[in-house]
Structure 1
Amino acid sequence: MAEQLVASLESMGQLLLAMDTGVGLLIGVGLSMSASHLFSLLANRLTPTQILLHMAVDGLVLSLAFLLGILCHSLMLMLLEGVPLQPITFANRMGAALWPGLFYVLAAAPYVSDLIAVSLLAWIHLNVLVLLQVVYGIPLLTGLVVATPGFVVALLLVGLLFAQRWRTSYDMLAREVADLTQP
């Protein structure tokens, strides 16, 4: 059992090394999305070490969500279009579609945060559709069928993490305020 786990981890490490460009961008997008929670972490008066730990863990989980979305894209491309490809090559090519996510930190802006977040996520999805058309010759409507399931998986994972993290942050802040207001 332990040998199988070690072999799986080594395989995953080799995959990450082969995807060096895509992984760097994935991690950058994850960290940018994580940084959008900086204000709630500061409001909870966490220490700088706790804030960095929260941001690092969230950034890695968000990066994993987008990586799973890209892997779903590659699976759908193979199933629907019969395009033979390696997930590493596909992830490196599709990783370029994620660059608007580097600006996700702007979603922390008050009043316009939802508009910024939706616009950036739509831009990422559009980039994937365009790359599918340019690189693999997939028409936009077919690309929509290929890319939407992976995009939905990524959005669900991102939404679950954000909902959990925001709920925890606001519960912590509410407890602090309640403690301060009680005699």
Structure 2
Amino acid sequence: MVQAMLAMDTGLGLVIGVGLSMSASHLFSLLANRLCLRQIALQMVVDALVLSLALSLGILCHSLMLMLMEHVPPQPIMMANRMGAALWPGLFYVLVAAPYISDLIAVTLLAWIHLNVILLLQVHYGIPLQEGLVVSLPGFVLALVLIALVFAQRWRASYNTLAREVGT
């Protein structure tokens, strides 16, 4: 497993970078909850790793769908390295912390990533756009569900704590 992860140098680095960017969008809430620096760092690292795992599972799902639908041999390492070109907009996910327009930024960035994946499938595997949408949709939905679970469970709890403290 470690050797496979080391072979995914570019793709894995970008997946972790996107996970850190998503985690950093939560930094303001952590600071407002008056957590110490160690608690903030620990929570951000754990969130980044969980979010990176969600994105990695999405990439694995893309590889499986390629195998099932297009009979492309599964090569998750090559797929992860190629995903680097598709995931780079996620590095700007930290901007989701902006008030009032955060949902628009999040949806735009996630749609941009999904469009990049569809284009990547067309360029590298010759899959038409309509089939690329079908191939990439399960992995994208899986990653979104896992990301939403992290947001709902961990991040909403800290926002609720902050709202209670401000309200009293």
Is the shorter-chain TM-score for this pair beyond 0.5, marking a shared fold? Answer: yes
Q: Quote how far apart the aligned CAs of 1:177 are.
A: 4.8
Output the CA distance in 2 between the equivalents of 1:76 and 1:175: 45
Q: Quote how far apart the aligned CAs of 1:107 are.
A: 0.5
Correspondence for 2:53: 64
Residue from 160, 168, 175 that aligns with 2:157: 168
Tell me the alpha carbon deviations over residues 121-168 of structure 1, each in whole angstroms, 9 at most, x when there is no partner: 000000000000000000000000000000000000000001112222
Output the CA distance in 2 between the equivalents of 1:34 and 1:177: 23
Correspondence for 2:16: 27
Output the CA distance in 2 between the equivalents of 1:143 and 1:34: 29
Correspondence for 2:28: 39
Residue from 123, 138, 145 that aligns with 1:156: 145
Residue from 113, 129, 132 that aligns with 2:121: 132
Output the CA distance in 2 between the equivalents of 1:175 and 1:105: 25
The 1:37/1:127 distance shift into structure 2, 3 A limit, reads same
Output the CA distance in 2 between the equivalents of 1:174 and 1:107: 19
What percent identity do the matched residue pairs reach? 77
SS at structure 2 position matched to 1:104 = helix
Output the CA distance in 2 between the equivalents of 1:136 and 1:109: 37
Q: Quote how far apart the aligned CAs of 1:28 are.
A: 0.4
Runs of 4+ in 1 over 2 A off after TM superposition: 170-178
Tell me the alpha carbon deviations over residues 64-87 of structure 1, each in whole angstroms, 9 at most, x when there is no partner: 100000100000010001012411
Correspondence for 1:7: none
- Structure 2 counterpart of 1:59, one-letter code: A
Correspondence for 2:87: 98
Count of equivalent residues: 168
Q: Which runs of 5+ in 2 are unaligned?
A: none
Output the CA distance in 1 between the equivalents of 2:50 and 2:84: 16
Correspondence for 1:120: 109
Q: Which runs of 5+ in 1 are unaligned?
A: 1-11
Normalising to structure 1: TM-score of the pair? 0.88
